[in-house]
Each structure stands twice: as C-alpha cells, then as structure tokens.
Structure 1
Amino acid sequence: MVTMHDTSVSGATSDSSNAGGLKNSRHFITPGVSKPIFEAIKKKSIPARERLCVLLLDEIDLAPHLDYLPKEDYIIGFEDTGWSRNQLVADTALVFMLRSIYGNWKQPVAFAFHDYPLNQKTQIRFIKEIAKEAKQAGLNLIALVCTHCDHNVKAIDCLLEESKSAHTIDLDGHQVVPLLDPGSLLLVTRNLFCENNLQFVKDGISKLAQWQHLVQAHKIDSERSNYLAKITKSHLLPESMNLTKCVQTLSGTFAGFLNTIAGKTSLPVEATQTADLLFFLDKVLDSLNGTMEQDIHKPLRGPITELSPHSKFWSEAREVFKQMTLPGGDRGNSFAKWVRTFDAFEVIKEKILGLGYDSFPARSFNLEPLQNCFDLLSEQAGSTGCENRLTCKKFSVFYNLALRSKDMASRRATEPKCEPDGLNFLLTVEDLS
C-alpha cells in the first residue's frame, strides 16, 4: 500500500473552487457530486415529460498508478470522493449518470476514485446527494439502476430498510425504485450456463439445458450452412463480459437453429430443451429492453402499457427462475435477482402509469449508456484485453474531454460491448463554459 497523509476536502460537491489540491486545476470536473453540472441543468429548458429520469451507477477498473501534476502540485491516483481523500491507491472509478426515460439525453453527474469495493456509507451518501441535487434541478427521479454485485445489493437493502419499504427508496421526497441491471443479470446467467447444465421447468415440464449443445450446433453450422453467421468461437468462450455477444448467443435465432437440426444431425434431440431455455431468455430480454416502437411480431419489444403482455410474461418468468437450479439442486442467488428485477419493473410500471403516462420503454432502465462511455474511455486510454492502461489521471482527462466534446456522447468504441444507446449529453459545451 502506498501511503500519504490523509487529506480532507471541505464540502460534499465538486466545483472549480472546491477540489482540494486541484482547486487551480485545468480539469473542470473533479471527483464528487458535480455542482457545476447541476447548476447548468437548472438553467436548461427541459420538457416535463423528459424530466422523468433514472440514476445509473456503475464501476470501471483502473490501473493503480500515481501521477504528480506539477502545475497543481498535486498527486492524483489516491482514493478520492470529492469530500475526502486518503492513502489508499484507487483501482476503480465509480460513475453516476442520469438518463431521461422519454428524452434522448444522458448526463454524467458524479464520480469517485476508490479502492474496490467502495465503502457502503460513501456509496449511500453519493446516492442521497445526487437525488437532492436532481430534485433542486427540477428533475423527477423514478428509479436507480446498478449491477447485481453484492455491495450494490447491500447498499440498496440498507436504503430500503431505512425507508421502511420493500420496493422503493425515499430519496429527498422522491420514491425511487431500485433495479438490478438486466444486461448484467443476463451475463451472469450466461456464464453460469456455460459452466453448468441448467435445470428448469417450463409449462410444467422439467427440462435440462446444456451449453455443449450450443458448441456442437455451432460446429455443425460452420461446416454446413453458416446460418449462425454472427456467432463466432469467441461467443462460446467460458467467461464473457460482452453483452452484445451474450444477446446474440442466447437468442431466438440460435434456439430456432437448435430445433431445426436436433435429432436430424449429430446433435441429439435433447437439444430442443436447450432451445427452450434460449427462447425463454430471449423473451426475458425483450420484455426488459423494449422501446416505444410497436412490434406486432414480438410485442414484448414494444412499450409497456396497462394492457401490454409484459406483466403476464413477468409473472410466468418469475416461476421459471424460482425453480431454476444448477447441478446438485443449487438455486444460485442470481436467479432470485431476476425475480427481484421483475418485481421492480412492476413497481415502476405502477408509478409511471400513475403519473398519467400511458406507456414507457423498458430500455430506459439499463446500464448501456454508462457501459458505452466506459468502452470508449478504455479505448482512448489504450487499454487492451491483456492490459488496463486507464489510470486516474487518464480517466479525469478523458472524462472532462467527453463533457466538452459535442459528438463524444454518440461516439462508439471500435469493439463495443453493448448496443448503441442513441443518447446525447444533456449539456453542451456552451452550457458548461
């Protein structure tokens, strides 16, 4: 551990005059809840409908490294929340972003450098501070989305207990629905499936899904039809954090191919049970990733309304995940987290329809906008699959550059892990000047 004297920074927000050793820094935005950003949002003309928003929070790995900034006489690379610093060398950046449910905007509003995992009290303080600033800026915070990691779940449970509620958190008067990111849950389910056979019950029938069926079918396809043109060997590797490849693998297209060749080639007829799991997971993602556009062939991809099929499907999906097991009967807590996510979407549906809106897109409640920013940050830093080159200094530079670049929000990494989110930053260069 690298040590230095603990340094305290007064105040709980980050602005150009309140950043400890960086108060004369060339960086406009420093760790903490960004006061300048919320001040700019207050001055922004935003339609009432587009003020309904979601708070996203996620982490990106950093390369532990200390840099001395001579002009500022400041060492960057230690744990820094904006209101305090200490001697721990940071290996993670936690970033908070607001995104509109109906509008096409997103906006980073806070970040911290920390030694993983972040202290729970600090994480909760960030959430409360951001909620307070969002309310003062005239935004209507509906939900909070994070990954399924244990420290996030514990922080949410702590806030729920504090609010004396099973499903909503009281944040400065806003009843906010905490939600686990569906994409993250799909990835962990995919990785569990890759390592284990999955036992599940569908339509009252017990079935067994086997990853080997996917590997075998892909081999058959590559030698014959190349029907699964988008699927490569990398899609079927054991550990994957690429959501795009995960979605392409656990798809209705792959499921249909399994059904077509099972029992008619070297692929055993039992592969139809694996196809049933893929068809199910494909519908799960459709139901939690839909847009405002109607799709008559796949209605779960459409908007959530009072009469849409989402609630009926979620009720059925809950039962499937409740009975899903790993070898030996282990149910795994990730399956229970799916149930928790369906419950949260029901509360969100009731909340938004109760505000007088007749529909909303499920796709507004995922972490893709943050992940797309992370992919671009890592690429700009020169990181590869074998080496992480994103340090605190590089993160700070690229973060500020992104906020000042007109097209940065829409730019994509060369090899993105998620689909495009189609959002722009709410604030422009002129708003922040």
Structure 2
Amino acid sequence: MEDALDSDGTSNSSITDEEDVSPGLTQPILNSRHFITPGVSKLIFDAIKKKSIPLQERLCVLLFNEIDLALHLDYLTKEDYIIGFEDTGWSRNKNVADTALVFMLRSIYGNWKQPVAFAFHDSPLNQKTLVRFIKTIAKETKNAGLNLIAMICTHADHNVETVDMLLEESKSVVLEGQEVVPIFDPSSLLLSTRNALSEAPLTFKKDGVLKTAKWEHLVKAHEIDRELSNCLTKITKSHLAPDSLSFTKCIQTLSGTFAGFLSTVAGKTGATLPPAATETAELLFFLDRVFDSLNGTMAENAEKPLRGPIRATSPHSKIWSEAKETFKDMDGKGGSWFGKWLRTLDAFEAIKSKMLALGYEAFPARSFHLEPLQNCFDLINEQAGNTPMENRLTCKKFSIFYNRALKAKDMAACRATEPICEPDGLKFLVTIEDLS
C-alpha cells in the first residue's frame, strides 16, 4: 500500500516500530491501482461535501468490521513501496498485517452506502487506534454535512472494550457534539446463538418454566422432512453443519417455519422426534420474533408487523422488553453473548427515542446492521479466491479490489456467488468520477 502522507502532502516511506506521520486523513496517490490508501480518506469526504443529498437521507450510521488477510509482503514497483505491513494511514510499523479493518457509512433512509476508511493491522487493532478512527470519521462526517446517529460493529471482545472506553469518557458516546448510539450487529448475535446451540443445549424460561433447546432436534427434524414431507425446502445439510458463518442460513434455520415443523412432528405417533423437541421449537419461535423486530424495513407488513417500520405505537418495544427477560435467564455454552443481546435491545430502544425526538415517525431497523459491509467483503473474497494459498486475500489484493470497487458504478450492487448476507440494494454514494 502507498505511504501515508505527511501534513504537507509529501510521502513518508520509512517503516519504524511506531511512527505517527499525519493527523489521520490521507490524500490520493495519482495514477495508481492503489488510489485510496489506508486511513480516513480526505478525498472521499471532500466528494461527499459536494453531493446534493436530501436532508432525511443525510441521517446515517457508521459500520466497521474486519476481513481476514493472508500474511504476505509485496513490492509495488511503480510506487517503490512494500505493502503488507501494519498501516493505519497515520502510522506504519514492522508488523505484518493479517486483517483489514474497514469503515463504512450508510444512510438510514437513503439508498446509499460509502466506504470511508480502512487500515491494515495485526488483529486485534488496539483500542486507542480504533477510538481515533471513530472520532476522526465522526468529525469528517459532520463536516461533510451528514448526521451520524449510531455505530454498528460485531460483539467481539475488542469491539466491546472500545465501546466501553468511549462510554467511560462521556457516560454516553458523544462524538463531535452528537450522541451516537453503539449497537452490536443483530445478525452476528443471532449467528453466535445458533453456533452455541449447535455445540451444547441451551436453557431458557418461558412463562416461568425452565425449558431446554437441543440442536439434535433440528438435525433429526431435517432428516424426517427429507424422508416424508419436504416442507423445509430452504434447509440443506450445510444449514445444520456444526459451525456456520452464513447469516442467511442462520436466519433460515432459526425461523418460524422450522419451529412450526418441529411443533407439528414432535411426539407424534410413529415419529422419532421426542415431545421435548417442542421446547426447541419455542426457542426458535422466540428468536424468530426477536430478529424480525430488529430487521424490519419501511414496508408495512400487516401479517408480520415486526417486519415493518418501528413507530411510537408499533409492537417492537413490547417484544424487546419481553426478550430482555428471556435473555437474562438464558444459559448455554459461551453465554457471554446473552449480555450483548440485552445491550443491543437497549440500544434499539435508545435509537427509537432519538428518532422520534428528531421528528421522524418511523424508521427501518434493517438500517442498523453490518449487512452492507459484509456484502462488500463477500465480493472481495470471491474476487481473490479463497482456497489455494496463492489466491488468498493479501493486503495488495485487498487494496486493488477496494479501489476497483469505487471505479465501477455498479460494483456496490454486485452479488457474490455464495453471499453470507441478503442483498442490501444500496449504491455507493461516491465513485471514481466524483474523485477526479
């Protein structure tokens, strides 16, 4: 990757143990495949400032997540530069990077998303550096005329610690004079719940009665369905693999449809699924309702109002209140994520209060997910190839694909062959034409 630039715009190619070389904003390197470099991109934020964006569509959230890289150094002949070391845009060191951390803005109401920063680092990125990224982006977002409402990340320990650090500083996360609500990605939380259930039984309470859900009930039910009914048309063997990284398959598995089949078959004469499988069905019904309440759109849904917009009078708050009581009593392997569910439900309640206070009658919960960023990761991984060692994603390849995405008008809407998430339907706000 190209060097970070000094404040006077000159290149600094030296690699030290840790050298701070700029305030965090990076300038472009012209006539290079690596046009956008590590750090917070001044070029992109300058282009956003020039955009005519309706007031409502200026409400946005900050997404950040990591993508794994292969340890590898490459010499860029044209730039006379070695790429593959840790690089935040304001500092480089001798550690070889194994991760790219990407920051993206997305509109709550508008049809746009926009990568605005990235860094190469040896995971996990230290909290001080992550906080610096967040604060710099918040400042540039405000200067560009956008209104930052929330920030969304996974519930990985280093992210939780960073959020807690920001909360410690101000009791609530206030960036550039704006209160920003931190949210742990609901899809990631659901995936952790699914994977924990696949490893060990999960206990929970319903109406004061202790219940137990077991993964083996889902596996057996799927076998019965394949032999007799074929009702679970979307469920394949890969859905029930012990570990999964697919959000789409996770949502399809922990669904009301699967729960209904479990309830119908469990304990029936001649069936091999025990009556206790109804307790597993109850957990699936519960998780399906909770996730619906955190994944709705602006489209009204009379049959399933939880999938519609969140309003002052919508049933979402009631579901969240009931769900918090259930999560408090839940017990299973690696159960630290139960507390993250509670924090996310509280965060959505805070978002609801904030949006109503701003004068908005309704908003879509789906705008507060990492999905748009994950879809970009899917596409980058697919372009790099993910099996032979020589085709693994490196810092050089990531840089090329990241820059290529901004050069193609339709790249944001492209879909990987086997995406982890559902399509988000968003376009990049800024393309290469806006940067020239």
TM norm structure 1: 0.94
* 1:16–1:293 distance in 2 versus 1, CA, 3 Å: same
**1:428, 1:5 → 2: CA distance?**
34
1:10 to partner: Cα distance: 2.9
Deviations 1:297-340 (A, max 9, x none): 1111010000000000000000000000127xxx8210111000
Query: How far did residue 206 of structure 1 move?
Result: 1.5
Decide whether the 8 Å contact of 2:33 with 2:403 is kept in 1: no
2:22 aligned residue: 10
Pick aligned residue for 2:183 from 154, 168, 179? 179
Following TM superposition, by how much is the alpha carbon of 1:109 offset from its aligned partner in structure 2, in angstroms? 0.2
Structure 1 387/189 Cα, relative in aligned 2: closer, same or farther at 3 Å? farther
Identity %: 70
Residue 385 of structure 1 and its aligned partner are, at CA, apart by: 9.5
CA contact (8 A) 2:104 2:117 kept: yes
Q: Tell me which amino acid in the other structure corresponds to 1:68.
A: Y
Give 1:200's match in structure 2, choosing from 204, 207, 214. Answer: 204
**Paired letter, 1:415:** E
The one-letter code sitting in structure 2 at the alignment partner of 1:161 is E
Partner in structure 2 of residue 234 of structure 1: 238
What does 1:60-71 correspond to in 2, within 5 Å?
60-71=67-78
Q: Which moved more, 1:6-15 or 1:366-375?
A: 6-15
Give the 5 Å matches for 1:84-95.
Answer: 84-95=91-102
Matched residue, 1:283? 289
Kindly report structure 1 stretches of 4+ aligned residues shifted beyond 6 Å. Answer: 385-388
Deviation at 1:226, TM superposition (A): 1.2
Question: Which stretches in structure 2 are left out of the alignment for 5+ residues?
Answer: 1-13
How far apart are the structure 2 equivalents of 1:420 and 1:38? 25
Q: Which deviations, in whole Å up to 9, do the C-alpha atoms of 1:256-306 show, x marking residues without a partner?
A: 000111111111111111000000010111000000011111111010000
Structure 1: which amino acid aligns with 2:179? Q
Residue 41 (structure 2) pairs with residue 41 (structure 1): no
Secondary structure of 1:108's aligned partner: strand
| Count of residues in correspondence between the two structures | 420
Q: Tell me, in whole angstroms, the C-alpha distance in 2 between the residues paired with 1:192 and 1:96.
A: 28
Tell me how large the CA RMSD over aligned residues is: 1.6
Say if 1:26 and 1:254 are closer, same or farther in 2 by CA, change over 3 A: closer
- 1:45-124 → structure 2 map (5 Å cutoff): 45-124=52-131
What SS does the corresponding residue of 2:310 show, helix, strand or coil?
coil
Give secondary structure in 2 for the equivalent of 1:374: helix
CA distance in 2, matches of 1:180, 1:130: 19
Would you say the 8 A contact 1:13–1:35 is kept in 2?
Answer: yes
Q: CA deviation at 1:429?
A: 3.1
Q: Show the counterpart of 1:255.
A: 259
8 A contact 2:112–2:428 mirrored in 1? yes
- CA shift, 1:386, in A, is 8.6
TM-aligned CA distance change 1:103 to 1:24, over 3 Å: closer
Within the candidate set 274, 283, 287, 1:268 is matched to 274
Compute the displacement of 1:223 (Å): 1.0
Separation in 2, partners of 1:354, 1:162: 24
Shift of 1:230: 1.1
- Structure 1 alignment gaps of length 5 or more: 18-22
Q: Give the AA of the match of 1:270.
A: A
Taking the aligned partners of 1:186 and 1:385, their CA distance within structure 2 comes to 31
Instruction: Identify the residue that residue 32 of structure 1 maps to in structure 2.
Output: 39
Amino acid at match of 2:304: K
State which of 125, 131, 135 in structure 2 corresponds to 1:128.
Answer: 135
Residues in 1 aligned to 2:185 and 2:16: alpha-carbon distance in whole angstroms: 38
Question: Distance in 2 between the 1:80 and 1:225 partners?
Answer: 55
Structure 1 distance, partners of 2:248, 2:284, is 15
Which residue matches 1:297? 303
Deviation at 1:211, TM superposition (A): 0.6
- The residue type equivalent to 1:216 in the other structure is K
Choose which of 156, 160, 167 in structure 1 pairs with 2:167: 160
Alpha-carbon shift at residue 229 of structure 1 (Å) = 1.5
> Which AA in structure 2 matches 1:245?
K
CA deviations on 1:231-264 (whole Å, 9 max, x unpaired) are 1111111111110110010000000000111111
Letter of the 1:322 partner, please give it. K
Cα shift at 1:57: 0.3
- Structure 1 residue identity aligned to 2:181: V
In 1, the alpha carbon distance for the partners of 2:146 and 2:288 equals 33
Q: Cα distance, 1:27 vs. partner?
A: 2.0
Does the C-alpha gap of structure 1 residues 366 and 385 become closer, same or farther in structure 2, counting only changes over 3 Å?
A: farther
Q: Specify the code of the residue in structure 1 equivalent to 2:273.
A: L
Give the alignment partner of residue 319 of structure 1, picking from 322, 325, 331: 325
C-alpha distance in 2, partners of 1:173/1:146?
21
Q: Which whole-Å CA distance do the structure 1 matches of 2:315 and 2:425 have between them?
A: 26
Of 360, 365, 368, the residue aligned with 1:362 is 365
Q: What SS class does the counterpart of residue 182 from structure 2 fall into?
A: strand
SS of 1:148's equivalent in the other structure is coil
Match of 1:20 in 2: none
Question: 2:4 maps to which residue?
Answer: none
